[in-house]
Amino acid sequence: MGGEEASASVASAPQKWSDYQVEFHFPEPTDLGSNSLMQLMDADFKYPGRDDFGLKNVNIGIDMGSRVAIVGPNGAGKTTLMNLLSGDLEPTAGESRRSAKLRIGRYNQHFVDALSMDVNPVEYLMTKYPESGLKPEGVRAMLGKFGLSGHHHLVPIVKLSGGQKARVVFAGISLSQPHILLLDEPTNHLDMQSIDALCDAVEEFGGGVVVWIVDNGEITPYDGDFEDYRDELIKEISAELDADEEEAAAAADPFKPKKVA
């Protein structure tokens, strides 16, 4: 997507999405060679006793220039695919391979829900990523860049919103210095400023973006890039905002005629 088109897309977004600045950055990974770091070859997967669900004939090879976003409806198999790629699950047929030195930066809703809720974001990140060597002020600077305001840095994570928790997870992914990003519905809970920042961070992370759609047990390439996915989200969120405004107006004035599509 060209710069003018991207600017036009952002300009078409509601004004309330443009009231602050946020930056996401993932460090340049160490070189592990040019071969595929993560592979699924003719891989099938089925859960025991689940004849209603399965993935079949999955062939994916991911190298240092790949970033993977997995999109699809709930229940389609996105998390299962991520677990196969990361090695948390093994295929029931076919083969799975990963580089021994591979570090995976992984995001999904489960990781957000699994944060240590009784500590604050600074304590959590310093405990989980001691190898970063950052002092509290360095961690707070990173959290600020990922869009978490200063007064949320020292409150228990349990008191943060879903979007604020997501920012803590993304800051942690950056601290882990990943070679590969595995992103399952990464825009959940993010506002448009953060979605734009995530798009920029993924784009600068050493190459193109590979986006996959998971549906009906099949894995197919997404016909577009992360910028196209973002533009689809803008349209969907705009439609949802319009619907919410109409619903609120109808509740305030139940006798007002409704719009006909």
pTM of the entire predicted model: 0.74
pLDDT score, position 170: 93
Is 70 exceeded by the pLDDT of residue 62? yes
CA distance 246 to 251: 9
Residues of the chain above pLDDT 70, percent: 76
Q: Kindly report the backbone phi and psi dihedral angles of residue 59, in degrees, each rounded to the nearest multiple of 5, phi listed first.
A: -130, 110
Residues of the chain above pLDDT 90, percent: 27
Mean pLDDT, residues 27-50 taken together: 86
Residues 29, 30, 33, 34, Cα dihedral to 10°: 20
Edge-to-edge order in the sheet of strand 55-62:
55-62, 38-45, 93-98
- Show me where the domains of the chain are located: 3-103+177-252
**Contact of 94 with 41, CB cutoff 8 Å:** yes
Is 70 exceeded by the pLDDT of residue 3? no
Q: How many CB atoms lie within 10 A of CB 128?
A: 15
Is 70 exceeded by the pLDDT of residue 20? no
CA distance 17 to 5: 18
Calculate the average pLDDT of the chain.
79
pLDDT score, position 94: 96
- Res. 226 pLDDT band, cuts 50 70 90: low
pLDDT score, position 86: 87
pLDDT score, position 34: 63
Mean pLDDT, residues 214-221 taken together: 68
Given 3.20.20.450, 3.30.1490.20, 2.30.110.10, 3.40.50.300, which CATH number is that of 3-103+177-252?
3.40.50.300
CA distance 55 to 92: 10
pLDDT score, position 171: 94
Greater confidence, 253 or 181? 181
Is 50 exceeded by the pLDDT of residue 16? no
Task: Please write down the long-range contacts of 51-54, taking CB distance under 8 Å and 24 or more positions apart.
Answer: 53/77, 53/217, 54/217
| 159-179 per-position pLDDT tens digit | 998 889 999 999 999 999 888
pLDDT score, position 67: 64
pLDDT score, position 6: 43
